[in-house]
Structure 1
Amino acid sequence: MPVTANLVKLVDKEYQDKSLAELVDAPVAALAGISDRAASHLKEALGIKTIGELGRSQYFRTAKALVDLADHGE
């Protein structure tokens, strides 16, 4: 099933016409609000280079799960 999304506020302008598959392989700095410097820190600290790696990171998934549990009263 095709998925469409308005990516204007989510990614930098040069990535707004990319497919989701292309976005997953794009550098973390393609996300709106993530600077090249911040992306460099993610790479150095956690080895995260792409949006896909960020989204699949065990650290970020664990943090998201803990926040969801806390927000919904465990």
Structure 2
Amino acid sequence: MAVSVELGKALDKALENAPLEEVLAAPPSALAGLTEKHDEILAGMGIKTIRDLGSNKYFAVAGVLVALSGKTG
């Protein structure tokens, strides 16, 4: 089943139409607003890809807490 998601300006232009696996394998700096300096900092935490970032237990817990608060922005 094909799924389409509009990520708008959340990704670098080069990845806006890329397959999901390619996006998940990209460094965190492929997310709009993050830089190669962020890649270096996150790598120190063992986070080298967008997949790593999204599956990190600390970021996941923080995301759930924000969602529970009803304030996502």
The normalised TM-score by structure 1 is 0.83
Instruction: Give the aligned partner of residue 69 of structure 2.
Output: 70
Question: What CA distance in whole angstroms lies between the structure 2 residues aligned with 1:55 and 1:15?
Answer: 17
How many residues were matched structurally? 71
Question: What CA distance in whole angstroms lies between the structure 1 residues aligned with 2:56 and 2:9?
Answer: 22
Q: Deviations over 1:25-72 (max 9, x none)?
A: 11111111111101211111x110100010000000111112222338
Percent identity between the two aligned chains: 39
Residue 18 of structure 1: SS of its match in structure 2? coil
The normalised TM-score by structure 2 is 0.84
* Superposed counterparts of 1:52-67, under 5 Å: 52-67=51-66
Instruction: Give the aligned partner of residue 51 of structure 1.
Output: 50
The structure having more radius of gyration, on CA atoms, is 1
Residue 5 of structure 1: SS of its match in structure 2? coil
Which structure has more relative contact order (CA 8 Å, sep 6+)? It is: 1
Deviating beyond 4 angstroms after TM superposition, the runs of 4 or more aligned structure 1 residues are none
| Structure 1 spans left out of the alignment, 5+ residues | none
Question: What CA distance in whole angstroms lies between the structure 1 residues aligned with 2:4 and 2:70?
Answer: 28
